[in-house]
Amino acid sequence: MDITMDGVAGPLTALQVMQDAAVIPVIVLTDVAHAVPLARALVAGGIRMLEVTLRTPQALACIEAIARDVPEAVVGAGTARSAADVQACAMAGARFIVSPGYTHAVGTACRDAHLPLLPGVATGSEIMAAQEDGYTELKFFPALQAGGLAMLKAWGGPFGDVKFCPTGGITAANAAEFLALANVACVGGSWLVPGDALARGDWARVSELARQAAGLPR
């Protein structure tokens, strides 16, 4: 059963992950106890595609907790850098994978696990390598440092069949500029989960930031 507008069951495609909302939150969690209430707060604000990054030892346990206890969310794993990462994320219940770069091994592991992948690219050669393996929905990372809006506009010509999720330096202040580009399907950003709100358990603030993000025009 495929994902629907009202549900999140079944296999996904990368394009569905990108098109569900204007922003995919980039989440770093150090306390498993925060995972479920954070996910519920984001979903309450209209954001259900959640990228939990593999940047802390607790990340896999957080992914598992969200997958188990927040079925209305679609939890994915970010910062996947190897086939072993992909396999561990699949076992934890991740339903999509985001990587900071692209390798054939990561792409193959995602196909084997039947998980959509948003591979990171920063150059034309990296885009072509991902395309050779069948990936046309890509993460542009680090977006600002790698050329930002100007680079995405330049890629619109030779890579007109590619959709991007720029991540890295995207904020509430500049997200709309990126979302206005024809080749941008969504953006990734950490501003939906401020560190101070996470530390205090201020889930109402997280929900409000999610509502604002979900309402961004595309």
pLDDT by residue for the chain (218 residues), tens digit each?
A: 244 444 556 689 999 999 999 999 999 999 999 999 999 999 999 999 999 999 999 999 999 999 999 999 999 999 999 999 999 999 999 999 999 999 999 999 999 999 999 999 999 999 999 999 999 999 999 999 999 999 999 999 999 999 999 999 999 999 999 999 999 999 999 999 999 999 999 999 999 999 999 999 98
User: Pick the catalytic residue: 51, 64, 137, 163?
Assistant: 51
Residue 126 appears among annotated catalytic residues:
no
Distance CA 56, CA 124 (A): 31
Task: Please report whether residue 67 resides in a domain.
Answer: yes
Cα 129 to Cα 24, 49, 107, 119, distances in angstroms: 24, 26, 11, 11
Per-residue pLDDT, 74: 98
Task: Please report whether residue 2 resides in a domain.
Answer: no
Per-residue pLDDT, 1: 28
Per-residue pLDDT, 11: 81
Task: Please report whether residue 9 resides in a domain.
Answer: no
Looking at the structure of the chain, the number of domains it has is 1
Task: Please report whether residue 46 resides in a domain.
Answer: yes
Identify the domain containing residue 59 by its residue range. 14-214
What's the predicted TM-score (pTM) here?
0.95
User: Pick the catalytic residue: 64, 72, 126, 139?
Assistant: 139
Q: 77: which residues sit within 8 A by CB, 6+ positions away?
A: 51, 52, 53, 54, 59, 63, 85, 89, 92, 94, 96, 97, 98
Q: Please answer whether residues 96 and 12 qualify as being in contact, where contact means their C-beta atoms are separated by less than 8 angstroms.
A: yes
Residue 51 appears among annotated catalytic residues:
yes
Task: Please report whether residue 121 resides in a domain.
Answer: yes
Task: Please report whether residue 8 resides in a domain.
Answer: no
Per-residue pLDDT, 8: 56
Task: Please report whether residue 123 resides in a domain.
Answer: yes
CATH number at residue 190: 3.20.20.70
Task: Please report whether residue 200 resides in a domain.
Answer: yes
Per-residue pLDDT, 9: 63
